[in-house]
């Protein structure tokens, strides 16, 4: 058995503020992590931390890129156990998207239509939650999430549990770590 990590965040950017306004949820972005230290964390988001209009497949890091620019990013890190074979499929799918990343585009229309509970899907386009849903459902071979998916929907997955909540920049894993929660008002 292996663990993957569903990383929910809210950076406080204008776009994340708009998403938060419509969803009324604490977190507005989701990434998938392949290691507990979150060195292998992927999503669809800003390609350049200073340009919200250019987005696509991204390898995200806690202290680099967008998360380094927005140091007060809050997070909820969730752990999900999968089989070894499922883990290999997840890694393989992410690697395939990474190799072909120029063909994938950010689904900005879909992101805004979520606010009115409408789905817009064009081939090879994703917003963050669509990407993580695609990777999980395709790799695990079953429908897990609503058709119109939002970042917070991932907290409803079976067998998922919170391992950390607080500032993303403070996240550090230790084997004896208990869930750490802060009283951040978001």
pLDDT tens, residue by residue, 156-184: 999 999 999 999 999 987 554 444 443 33
Rounded alpha-carbon distances, angstroms, from residue 156 to 33, 68, 87, 159, 184? 17, 28, 20, 9, 22
Question: Is the model's pLDDT at 147 over the cut of 70?
Answer: yes
Which pLDDT belongs to residue 18? 84
CB of 45 closer than 8 Å to CB of 58:
yes
Which is nearest to 139 in space by CA: 46, 8, 36, 42? 42
Which pLDDT belongs to residue 174? 58
Question: Is the model's pLDDT at 25 over the cut of 70?
Answer: yes
Rounded alpha-carbon distances, angstroms, from residue 62 to 12, 53, 75, 163, 173? 15, 21, 11, 16, 13
Which pLDDT belongs to residue 158? 94
Which pLDDT belongs to residue 85? 96
Q: How confident is the model at residue 56 (pLDDT cuts 50, 70, 90)?
A: very high
Q: Which of 12-26, 63-77, 97-111 has the lowest mean pLDDT?
A: 12-26
Measured CA to CA, the distance from residue 29 to residue 89 in angstroms comes to 23
Name the strand (E) or helix (H) holding 87: helix 84-99
Q: How confident is the model at residue 54 (pLDDT cuts 50, 70, 90)?
A: very high
Give the β-pairing of 2-10 and 29-33: antiparallel
For residues 27-53, average pLDDT = 94
| CATH code of the domain occupying 2-170 | 3.90.1720.10
β-partners of residue 58 are 43
Per domain, the residue ranges of the chain are 2-170
- Secondary structure of residue 55 in the 3-state scheme: strand
- Secondary structure of residue 100 in the 3-state scheme: coil
Q: How confident is the model at residue 23 (pLDDT cuts 50, 70, 90)?
A: confident
CA 118 to chain centre: 20
Does pTM surpass 0.95?
no
Question: Is the model's pLDDT at 113 over the cut of 60?
Answer: yes
Q: How confident is the model at residue 117 (pLDDT cuts 50, 70, 90)?
A: confident
Mean of per-residue pLDDT scores for the chain: 91
Q: How many residues does the chain have?
A: 186
Highest mean pLDDT among 14-28, 62-76, 107-121, 166-180: 62-76
CA 109 to chain centre: 18
């Amino acid at each position: 058995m292996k663990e993957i990590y569903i990383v929910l965040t809210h950076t406080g950017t204008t776009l994340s503020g708009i998403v938060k306004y419509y969803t009324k949820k604490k977190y507005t972005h989701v990434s998938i992590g392949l290691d507990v230290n979150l060195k292998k964390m992927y999503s669809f988001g800003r390609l350049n931390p200073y340009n919200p209009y250019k987005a696509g497949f991204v390898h995200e890091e806690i202290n680099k890129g967008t998360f380094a620019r927005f140091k007060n990013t809050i997070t909820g890190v969730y752990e999900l156990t999968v089989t070894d074979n499922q883990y290999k499929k997840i890694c393989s799918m992410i690697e395939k998207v990474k190799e072909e990343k120029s063909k994938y585009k950010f689904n900005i229309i879909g992101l805004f239509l979520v606010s009115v509970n409408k789905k817009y899907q064009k081939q090879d386009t994703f917003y963050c939650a669509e990407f993580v849903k695609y990777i999980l459902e395709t790799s695990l071979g079953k429908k897990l999430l609503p058709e119109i998916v939002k970042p917070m929907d991932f907290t409803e997955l079976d067998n998922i549990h919170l391992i950390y909540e607080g500032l993303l920049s403070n996240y550090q894993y230790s084997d004896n770590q208990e869930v750490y929660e802060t009283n951040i008002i978001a």
